[in-house]
Amino acid sequence: MTIRKQQLFGIPVSVLTREECVGTVLAHAQQETLCTVAFMPVHSLMTAVQNPVYKTAIEQFDIIAPDGQPVRWALNHFHKSGLSERVYGPDVTLDICREAEKRKIPVYFYGSTESVLELLRINLQRQFSDLIIAGMKSPSFGEIPESELQDDCDQIVASGAKILFVGLGCPKQELLTVRMKEYLSMPILAVGAAFDFHAGTLTQAPKWMQNHGLEWLFRLWKEPRRLWKRYVVYNSRFMWAVLKEMAKGRVAKMR
């Protein structure tokens, strides 16, 4: 399946549904072929706009899913994409685990801390008792040397895993995923805070807030010191970029 992409402020974003994302990942897992997936909320989108290194990394992903509601809205507004829901990393993680359990596809989790990974294991096995968790690894803090990364990838392959989830936060997880492409032939999904949400160490926003694009407000309320810059600065940049794009469209119509 060819995934179409559209440009938002110079960054390619995939036009696909949640079901199409899950189906593509599972197909690659069963074929044992590489497929890289990034999930694009406002913060990641505007980081890519501002950071050329991160933009170059993002452009190498097979799927750049519209994770944030405002990103989905922008795709629909500027490109008439017709997407009825966002492709949200934590939800896709559970969808894939559910299908992997049914199909006996082993999965691997790479990122976060040992304590979070243990809670994640417990909670996933409560939901999916037959899910094959081939392994979990909390990598070194900071920049991971190439030799260590290669050793970690060798362990992932040796575990028998067919799908890899990476949870290290933006931009580290996307930059690392691009490096892992050299060593792995399986779907690699950079899923951000999904590990913490499903481990129960972070609380997800209520569904009504998620549906109305207010998840950022809930998370800012929960973690103001850590997240104020992400949401106040990057959300403002996103709104400015939207307004500029809308102004361009009006000028083009007047000509």
| CATH top class, domain 5-205 | alpha beta
CA distance 90 to 24: 17
* Other beta carbons less than 10 A from residue 227's beta carbon: 15
Let me know: does 37 contact 65? Beta carbons within 8 Å. yes
Please list, in sequence order, all residues whose beta carbon lies within 8 angstroms of the beta carbon of residue 99, skipping any fewer than 6 positions away: 22, 26, 105
Nearest residue to 37 (alpha-carbon basis) of 51, 53, 16: 16
pLDDT at residue 204, as a whole number: 86
Q: What is the pLDDT of residues 105-144, one digit of tens each?
A: 999 999 999 999 999 999 999 999 999 999 999 998 888 9
Secondary structure of 26-56 in HEC code, one letter for each residue: HHHHHHCCCEEEEECCHHHHHHHHHCHHHHH
Nearest residue to 159 (alpha-carbon basis) of 136, 192, 191, 127: 136
| pTM of the predicted model as reported, rounded to 2 decimal places | 0.93
Let me know: does 184 contact 131? Beta carbons within 8 Å. no
pLDDT at residue 203, as a whole number: 85
Domain coordinates of the chain in residue numbers?
5-205, 211-254
Peptide bond into 171 cis (omega under 30): yes
Nearest residue to 198 (alpha-carbon basis) of 120, 93, 110, 100: 120
Q: What is the pLDDT of residues 44-61, one digit of tens each?
A: 999 999 999 999 999 999
Length of the chain: 255
pLDDT at residue 249, as a whole number: 67
* Strands ordered across the beta sheet of 35-39: 63-65, 35-39, 187-190, 163-167, 107-111, 133-137
pLDDT along the chain (255 residues), means of 10: 89 97 98 98 95 97 97 96 96 98 98 96 98 96 92 98 96 96 97 95 88 84 82 88 84 50
What type of residue is 133? I
pLDDT at residue 254, as a whole number: 47
CA distance 101 to 94: 10
Q: Characterize 141-154 residue by residue with b for buried, 16 or more Cβ atoms within 10 angstroms of its Cβ, and e for exposed.
A: eeebeeeebeebbe
Let me know: does 91 contact 146? Beta carbons within 8 Å. no
